[in-house]
Structure formats: C-alpha cells, structure tokens
Amino acid sequence: MRNFTCVHDIGNLKSALEKATYVKENPFADQQIGKNKTLLMIFFNSSLRTRLSTQKAGFNLGMNVIVLDINQGAWKLETERGVVMDGDKTEHILEAIPVMGSYCDIIGVRSFAQFKSKEDDYNEVILNQFIQYSGKPVISMEAATRHPLQSFADLITIEEYKKTPRPKVVLTWAPHPKPLPQAVANSFCEWMNATDYEFVITHPEGYELDEKFVGKARVEYDKEKAYKDADFIYAKNWSAYRDPNYGKVINMDKSWTVDARKMALTNNAYFMHCLPVRRNMIVTDEVIESPQSLVIPEAANRMVSAQTVLKEILKDNF
Amino acid sequence: MRNFTCVHDIGNLKSALEKATYVKENPFADQQIGKNKTLLMIFFNSSLRTRLSTQKAGFNLGMNVIVLDINQGAWKLETERGVVMDGDKTEHILEAIPVMGSYCDIIGVRSFAQFKSKEDDYNEVILNQFIQYSGKPVISMEAATRHPLQSFADLITIEEYKKTPRPKVVLTWAPHPKPLPQAVANSFCEWMNATDYEFVITHPEGYELDEKFVGKARVEYDKEKAYKDADFIYAKNWSAYRDPNYGKVINMDKSWTVDARKMALTNNAYFMHCLPVRRNMIVTDEVIESPQSLVIPEAANRMVSAQTVLKEILKDNF
Amino acid sequence: MRNFTCVHDIGNLKSALEKATYVKENPFADQQIGKNKTLLMIFFNSSLRTRLSTQKAGFNLGMNVIVLDINQGAWKLETERGVVMDGDKTEHILEAIPVMGSYCDIIGVRSFAQFKSKEDDYNEVILNQFIQYSGKPVISMEAATRHPLQSFADLITIEEYKKTPRPKVVLTWAPHPKPLPQAVANSFCEWMNATDYEFVITHPEGYELDEKFVGKARVEYDKEKAYKDADFIYAKNWSAYRDPNYGKVINMDKSWTVDARKMALTNNAYFMHCLPVRRNMIVTDEVIESPQSLVIPEAANRMVSAQTVLKEILKDNF
C-alpha cells in the first residue's frame, strides 16, 4: 500500500481485518518498523478523535509525530500556474507540498469538502495534490468525499460484535442543524459494499448520495422497513449531494432521529456513530446510553485502524 | 495514587518529599515505567510553566506526550441529559471524555474557575467529569479551586531552603489589576496545613478565602504582624471569594505589594511566587531580584513535582 | 559552539561543511548525543520550513522536542525595570526566560524584525535576551537581522551543486507586495563573505543593505551586469534598510523578477530562494520549474543545517 485514501487501497478485507486484530492485541510489537520514521499530520480542519488516535498509533509503532495545524484559510496556497502572486496567497502548492514531504516519511492530511465547488470536492483536489507532489505516502485523515480511517474502524467494530456471518447493516440519515459533508456516509457505503453484508441505506427524499458510493446497496426511503431486522444501525447526518442543493440542509426532520421506538423494529441492533454526535438530534439519550451502543469501542478502534494502515505503509515503502 | 487533584492524593508528605528528591537527583532513572504510556495534556486555559514542565516530566519518564489546546469556549460540551443539541454545543461530555480516555494512559487537565457559578467552580465540575468518565487517572494541571502541582513544588522548595524544622510561612495577598482565581492560594493553604510549619495568612478585609482551605491557619489582617519573623513570604493575588463579591477585584491596595521595607520585618525571609508575576504590583524589582528570591528554583521544581506525581501514578496503575 | 546566531558561531566553514555532509549521510548515527535532551522551539512568528525541519533534526538526534507557539503580541513581556506592571504585560522577561530555560537543554527562538525600532531590531533585543537570561544554548530560528540556519543550508546547497571551486554567486533583490525583513539577505551576505566565492549583490537604488553585512561584496546596480556569467542566482525580497525608509516597500519594479531572459545572461546558473516564494513576483514559473531550480533540495538542506548545528551544540555543552 502506497497511499490510503479509500477501501481499495487496503486490499483484501479479510486480510486487513486479520492485521487489525494483530495490531489490537499487540500494540507495541512493531516498534522497529517505525523507528526513525516521521509521521507529519496536517490539519486543514479541526480534529479530536483523528488527531489523538492517529498520533497514538504513530507512537505505538515507534514513529516520531509532527502535528501541523493550518488554520483554515490562513494558509492560502496558489494552485494555478501563471498567476502573479501579489495577493493573499504566499506560497504555491508546487513548492509547499514537496518541502513538507522532504521533512517526513508519511503525510496524513485532513481536508474537508468546502462546498464551494462540487467538482473540486469530488475530485479531491487537495488530497490529490499531496499525493502528486509530496513524494511520500499519503493517508487521508478525512478528505472531501471519504473518511477511510473511520470506515475501517467501523468495519473492525462490526466484525467484533456481529452475531451472524452476514449481518444486516443499515446506514440511516439523521437530522443535524448544520450542513455536513457526505464523506463519512460515502466512505461507509464504500466499505460496506466491499463486504458481503446485507447493506441498506435509508434517508429522506433529496438526500440521495453519489451513485458511485451507493453502488449495489439497497436504498429504502421507508425507514421503518429499513430498520426491520437490522443488526447494526449506523447513523450519520449529511447535507444534500444532488444539485441544485449540494451542501445544503434541506430538512431537519426529527422523525429520523434514532430512538427506542425504531430500534425496537430491529434484531436488537447495535447502534453506531462516528462521533461527535448531537444527542436528541441524531440519536436519543436512551439509545446512545443503552448497552447496544457501540460508539465508545468504535472510537477506540480508530487507533487500531490508523495503526494498521501506518504499519502496512511502513512495511511496503521503507 | 489514582488521581492527583489535592494534597490528600499524594499520601504521606514526608514520603512524597523523599520521592521528589530521588526524582530530582535521578531524572532519567525510571524510563521503563513510562515506556509506551501516553500522557494527554488538555488545556482549556493557556499555560507556560505547567505545559513545559509537565511535558518535560513525561519525557523524562519515557512517556509519549500529546498536547491538546482547547480554545476556551470554542469547544462547548453539553453536560445535561435530554437536551436537543441543535445549538453551538457539538458534543456531549459522555462521549467526548471516554473517547479521549481511550487514546491515552494518563490525562492532565487545566481548567480554571470561570466565575460564572461559584457552585460549579467549587464543585470542580469539569475536573470531576474527567475523573468520572475518562476511565483513566487524572492529574490536575490547575483546576478551579486548586493547583496541586504548584503547591507540591512550593513545598519541595521550602524544604530545600528552610533553616529551621518548623519555619514560619506567610501567605500574603498582593494587588493585581485583574480578577484571578483563588486556586493557587487555596491549594497552598491546603498543603501548608498538611505540614507542621507555622502558617499565617494575611490579606485585606474582604479577601477571606474559603474556610475549608484556611483550616487551622492563623489569619492576620495586620500585615506587619504577619511578616514579623517570617522565614518565607509567599505572595499571591486572588479575587474575592465571599459573596456578593465572588470573582471580583475589590481593591488594589499597593501597601500590600511585597517590598524591602516589609521584608525587613522578617527573619531574612525567602520570597516565593508561582509566576507569572507582575512586578511592582505583587512585588518590587528589588525584592524579586534579591538573593532571597526563590522564584526561579521554585519554578524549576514544577518539573520535579510533575515527574514525581506521574511516576507514582504509573507505578500504582499499570 | 555555545549559541548559533551568525556565521561566526559555526567556526571554520570547511569543517562545518564536512560535518554537514556526515550528518546528511548518517542522519540517525548520533542518537546517543541527544538522548534525554530537550529542544524547546519558541515561535514568536509563524513558520513552516523552520518548524518542521528543526523538529525533525531534533528527532534524528534522539532529542525530545517541545514546540511553543507564542501568538505575536499575545504574550507581552515587560523588559524594563521599575515599571508598575498594571497593564497588558503579564510577565517580566527576567522571570519568563530563565523559567523556560529550566525546562529544556537547548532553546530555538524565532523572532522577526518588528519595524518599530530599527535600533531594537538591529540590536537583536529579543534574541539577546534569551542568550543572556535563559542559561541555555540558544539557536536563532530566524531573528531580526539574520537567518543563519537558512544561510548554512544555502551554503551546503551551493557546495553540492557548484561546478567550479569559486563560483560567481549573485544575490538579487526581487519585488514583493509586503515589507519583509532584511534578515535572509543580510545573513546570506554574511555567509557568502565568509567564503572565497565571487559574491555580487544587485538591487534597485534605495534598497542598500547595512554595510556591516555587505562587507567586501560587490554591489552592482545594473542587474544585467550582475547576472553576467553567474553560477548561482539567489533571489530575495527585502524592504528598505536606509532611513527614512526603514521597513518600507519603496518600489515593486517587476523588471527585477527573475526570468528566463535574465537567466540567459548567466553561466547556466542555478536558481535559489529560501521559500516561501511568490511566483511571477520574485521568479517566473518557467525559471522556478526549470531543471536549474534548486529550491526543493535547498529547503531539504534546512534539516541538515539544523541537525549539524544541534549536534555540535550538544557535543560542546553537555
């Protein structure tokens, strides 16, 4: 594995899960692999879980870790050729990125969808510039359209808790007051579609995701039908993808909040969410505090997914 | 020791001081204890001494250290159940804190009194949430009502410089233009009351501290009487504790500035202050630059107190 | 070497270059030298290259590294004695600096010219306070009048690429929309004057540098003459040094932009710049993307210069 930006990078999922299990059981066993290797984590957007879990994963592997917070908007990079740079952009991406690459061995990048240009967002312009110009392996720490470290942790968690070989996993949209990217939802779809689970997506009309990510999943607009016999309910808000509403909140329908009434339709399903979660918008207190809630072990697995990915990249590139 | 939030956590003071002496003389002797252990330092308030000294203490013990700056107010956690989180609070404390706990082994928290609710401040609401929900040992890096790493460093310093077994130690209020928490003063009282020193508190009327912290100390409103024959003058400003003035500056009387005239009343006392100090408000240039000033070695002992505490917690919990 | 603030600190240049070559070829060979030593990097100004390269250099030597960002203006230190500190300055330099020194082994300081007082800038008031009061070796990570880690990296780069023992090196001013310090230019002059290269400075009238730094260099106002037969073109903007224009942009003459037409006058010269660089102000896309552009290897050598300096300071002081 050279870069880690989507499910396809991790290769065979069964093998990846076995590697994750090993890492989880032996967190400090591979410190020679990361010795004298430096992980540079670049945050264009703020972070709690990704920042802490990835930094700890690097430490566990014996790496040095440098964290670089780039205040969104404060560090403006020019990307075009031919521009006379007499404005607020102080550096061109063709210089900035190779220089950062020269001071580290692996680069992690967090750069959310900006909702200014759907095309730029869905072409992953910033992430791809790092891949193209840094000269080093690049890890997505949540990009514009995917959050693969989260999805890998989600998969690990489902594997740990599933009671049947092919569980029914339901991704449900849930209301939120602010426009959020589709990255977590897209990415979860991509990873679920790579398994043999029964995978269902449910959301109000108008919140259809990019078909590239929906893939073979069943889209069920009737949420009660979707919840029926589910083994895992994975909740997430996202803003509209389809034009002309890209990046907009088109409704905040509270009937989509995950609650005990709908959970009662399931096969005693586990509840999952990537966090941070707004209680009583996305999910009721009752459900998130129930024994079926996996949000804390799911977050803890972020360290496992990050460490597994870093380890494989270290093994394959150095 | 599980958590370190007050003098009672450190156990027997004589034994604690012996441990501190060992740490000071052998700073790098215990790196196996901290190997593969991660200290997460969370700052809700800015910090210079605590940040640097605690980070260095962690390094000395072979720990990995992660620093997380949380801009005061920027990260608003919901604490109530049942609230529909559709406002500016993006995460509930019941999720945020266990997640942080899952990525580290020891958590340090700095969270000052906010002067919005005396009850919340004196109940140490934030610090106690970390203790209750993180699942990990918690160290106060200055909380609303106490600053125990400072007080322990103060005690170490007094023990190093005292010329008599039971020195007379005087805590004197001194003027300051802004309303400061009572934490350093409270905490110093608590630690001095745990010794067999002669301990006197002096301040203007209206600046009485919480009786829980004053304890058996003698309160002397006549500052000249207080200074008389003192071996250590420990200066600190604090805002009013008593209602209706909680958190307010009720005077800035410069006659309380520590100066050579009052120091002449003492038994050639040492001068102490936790820093940062405003010169010619808290203390004159003359006194703080005199050979009797201990402010620099006192600050240097912050590393010793932090390392001793971290070491004991590592020994007792892992 | 105790401190590293200018070319004179590094001693014999030939020997320094040999040490740099060793470090570049054996980056991890000296980790015992830095074991249990802590580098404190203090940034009064923002930084990308210096921050990352110096941190990595410390890691390579086995050091612990603490980064302290001091928001410019947010941390105001009093420097005068006798002042009643009842305003916005919360700490005196006589306390703050020794305290920071007590928590580390080497201090790196970045503090740019402030253009408020030419005398203060050119007396390096802040850097010298750290040298005077910290009690620890101090490294300039760009001060008011010099940027010696950059200049050392520049020298290493020239030595790596030169095709003749005594290349012709030309420092050319180039336009920029904002007033920049003279530090990089001054420092480059100082280091070039310490070699036996042919060294020429070219700039528009009014941009004369301090004669102390110009030294024996030839100043050529006719840029075409300066470029003639050059082996290295080193571009940099600086604001005016001479009164009454100190710190001002007195013109932005685009005829000084480094372009292919002027580069054609040279001996197929290499192009150098310390970065960040504004394209089509300082240099055209064509020149900076040409095979003769050394900006990326030059930046990569920042790690080498920093590691060489840290290693020598560690060897000489501990």
Q: What is the pLDDT of residue A73?
A: 52
Which of C38, C85, C91 shows the shortest C-beta gap to B56?
Answer: C38
Cα distances (Å, whole numbers) of residue B152 to A280, B62, C95: 44, 22, 20
Share of chain A above pLDDT 70, in %: 98
Question: C73 and C196 share a domain?
Answer: no
A103 vs C28: CB contact, 8 Å cut-off? no
One domain, residues A294 and A155: yes
Question: Which residue segment(s) compose the domain that A86 sits in?
Answer: 7-146+302-317
Is residue C2 in a domain? no
Residue B268 backbone class (left: φ over 0; alpha: ψ -120 to 50; beta: rest): left
CB–CB of A59 and B38 under 8 A?
yes
Amino acid (1-letter code) at residue C13: L
Binary contact (A280, B85; C-beta < 8 A): yes
Terminal CA-CA length for chain C: 11
Question: In chain C, which residues have their Cβ closer than 8 Å to the Cβ of B177?
Answer: 86-87
Round the average pLDDT of chain A to a whole number and report it: 96
CA distance C73 to B88: 29
C77–chain B nearest CA distance, Å? 10
For residues C84-90, give the mean pLDDT. 90
Residue B55, pLDDT score = 98
Position B74 pLDDT exceeds 80 = no
Same domain membership, residue C105 and residue C137: yes
Residue C71 has pLDDT above 80, yes or no: no
Q: Residue A2 falls within a domain, yes or no?
A: no
Interface touch A303/B103, C-beta < 8 Å: yes
3-state secondary structure of B163: coil
Q: How far is B10 from chain C (nearest CA, A)?
A: 23
Candidate from A52, A280, A303 with C-beta closest to B66? A52
C170: in domain: yes
Is A284 part of a structural domain of the chain? yes
Chain B residues within 8 Å of chain A (Cβ atoms):
36, 38, 40, 64, 66, 68, 78, 81-87, 89-92, 94-96, 98-100, 102-104
* pLDDT interval class at A79 (50, 70, 90): confident
Ranges assigned E (strand) in C93-161 = 106-110, 138-140
**Residue B246, both tokens:** 């909680």
Decide if B107 contacts B99 (C-beta within 8 A): no
Residues of chain C in contact with residue A89, where contact means CB-CB under 8 angstroms, are 278
Q: Chain C residues with CB inside 8 Å of A92's CB?
A: 277, 279
| Chains touching B, CB cut-off 8 Å, 3+ pairs | A, C
Q: In what order do the strands lie in the sheet with A138-140?
A: A64-69, A38-43, A106-110, A138-140
| Pair B93, B124 in one domain | yes
In this predicted structure, the answer to whether residue A178 has a pLDDT above a threshold of 90 is: yes
- Domain assignment of residue C187, yes or no: yes
Query: What values do phi and psi take at B104, rounded to 5?
Result: -155, 180
Cβ contact A36–C60 (<8 Å): yes
Chain B positions touching C78 (Cβ under 8 A) are: 279
- Whether A180 is covered by a domain: the verdict is yes
The answer to whether residues A139 and A164 belong to one domain is: no
C257-289 per-position pLDDT tens digit: 999 999 999 999 999 999 999 999 999 999 999
Sheet with A218-219: list strands edge to edge.
A218-219, A198-202, A168-173, A232-236, A270-272
The pLDDT of residue C280 is 96
What letters, b where the CB count within 10 A reaches 16 and e where it falls short, cover C184-194? bbbbbbbbbbb
A285's tokens: 């207190």
Looking at the structure, tell me whether residues B155 and B184 fall in a common domain: yes
A-chain residues within 8 Å CB-CB of B85? Answer: 278-281
Decide if B28 is inside a domain. yes
Helical H segments across chain B, by residue range = 13-25, 31-34, 49-60, 93-102, 118-122, 125-133, 148-161, 183-193, 211-214, 223-227, 260-263, 285-288, 295-317
Please tell me whether residues B17 and B128 are part of one structural domain. Answer: yes
Residue B66: how many CB atoms within 10 A of its CB?
A: 22
DSSP class per residue in A231-279: SEEEEE-----STTSTT------GGGSB-HHHHTTSSS-EEE--S---B
Q: What is this model's ipTM?
A: 0.95
Closest partner residue to A55 (CB to CB) among B36, B66, B86 is B66
Q: What is the dihedral of CA B128, A292, A283, A180, to 10 degrees?
A: 90
Residue C88's pLDDT band (cuts 50, 70, 90) = confident
pLDDT at residue A72 tops 80: no
- B303/C68 touch (CB, cutoff 8 Å), yes or no: no
Q: Minimal Cα distance from C30: which residue of A?
A: A36
Q: Residue A46 class from Cβ within 10 Å (0-12 exposed, 13-18 middle, 19+ buried)? A: middle
Whether pLDDT at A75 is above 70? no
**Does A56 contact B38 at a Cβ distance shorter than 8 Å?**
yes
d(CA C258, CA C230): 13
**pLDDT higher than threshold 90 for residue A80:** no
CATH classification at residue A244: 3.40.50.1370
Q: Is residue B1 part of a domain?
A: no
- pLDDT for the residue C272: 98
pLDDT digit string, tens, across residues A238-255: 999 999 999 999 999 999
B291 in the same domain as B161: yes
A124-148 per-position pLDDT tens digit:
999 999 999 999 999 999 999 999 9
Token duo for residue C71: 């928001």
Task: Judge whether residue B73 has pLDDT over 70.
Answer: no
Mean pLDDT calculated for residue range B262-277: 98
Q: How confident is residue C46, by pLDDT bands cut at 50, 70 and 90?
A: confident
Residue range C199-242, pLDDT digits in tens: 999 999 999 999 999 999 999 999 999 999 999 999 999 999 99
Average pLDDT, chain B: 96
A46 pLDDT band, cuts 50/70/90, is confident
Residues A176 and A41 in one domain: no
Q: Taken in order A155, A158, A163, A166, is the CA torsion positive or negative?
A: negative
- How far is the alpha carbon of C299 from chain A, nearest alpha carbon, in Å? 6
Compare CB distances from A281 to B38, B84, B104 and report the shortest one's residue.
B84
Q: How far is B283 from B274, CA to CA, in rounded Å? A: 12
Q: Which chains touch A (3 or more CB pairs under 8 A)?
A: B, C
How far apart are alpha carbons A266 and A290 in whole angstroms? 14
Check CB contact under 8 Å for A300 and B81: no
Task: Report residue B242 as tokens.
Answer: 């008593």
**Which residues of chain A are within 8 Å of residue B89 when distances are taken between CB atoms?**
278
Q: Cα–Cα distance between A201 and B228 in angstroms, integer?
A: 78
For residues B281 and B252, what is the distance between their CA atoms, to the nearest angstrom? Answer: 9
Residue B72 scores a pLDDT above 70: no
Q: Look at residue A107 and tell me whether its pLDDT is greater than 90.
A: yes
Q: Does one domain contain both B196 and B241?
A: yes
Q: What's the mean pLDDT in A160-174?
A: 98
Nearest to B82 among A280, A281, A299 (CB): A280
Residue B208 has pLDDT above 80, yes or no: yes
Predicted pLDDT of residue A81: 87
Distance from CA of B89 to the nearest CA of A (A): 8
**Beta carbons of B213 and B191 less than 8 angstroms apart:** no
Check whether residue A115 and residue A67 sit in a common domain.
yes
Cα–Cα distance for residue pair B239/B234, rounded to 1 Å: 16
Can you tell me whether residue A153 is helix, strand or coil? helix
Please give the DSSP secondary-structure letter assigned to residue B256. G
User: Do residue C56 and residue A78 have CB atoms under 8 angstroms apart?
Assistant: no
CA pair distance C154, C137, nearest whole angstrom: 23
Q: Name the region of B315 (left: φ>0; alpha: ψ -120 to 50; beta: rest).
A: alpha
Q: Are residues B30 and B73 in the same domain?
A: yes
CA dihedral C106, C112, C115, C117 (to 10 degrees): 10
Exposed, middle or buried by CB within 10 Å (0-12, 13-18, 19+), for A222?
A: exposed
Q: Whole-angstrom Cα distance, residue B69 to residue B72?
A: 9
CB C235 within 8 A of CB C276: no
The B168-173 sheet, strands edge to edge: B218-219, B198-202, B168-173, B232-236, B270-272
- Nearest partner of C235 among C289, C190, C294, judged by Cα: C294
Token digits for B5? 């939030």
Using 50, 70 and 90 to split pLDDT, how confident is the model at B178? very high
Neighbours of C231 (CB within 10 A): 21
Q: Are B207 and B173 in contact (CB under 8 A)?
A: yes
Check CB contact under 8 Å for A99 and C300: yes
Cα of C110 to nearest chain A Cα, Å:
17
A27 CB neighbours in chain B (<8 A) are 36
Number of domains in chain C: 2
Query: What interhelical angle do B295-317 and C93-102 show, nearest 10?
Result: 40
Q: Does B94 sit within 8 Å of A289, measured CB to CB?
A: yes
Nearest chain B Cα to A29, which residue?
B36
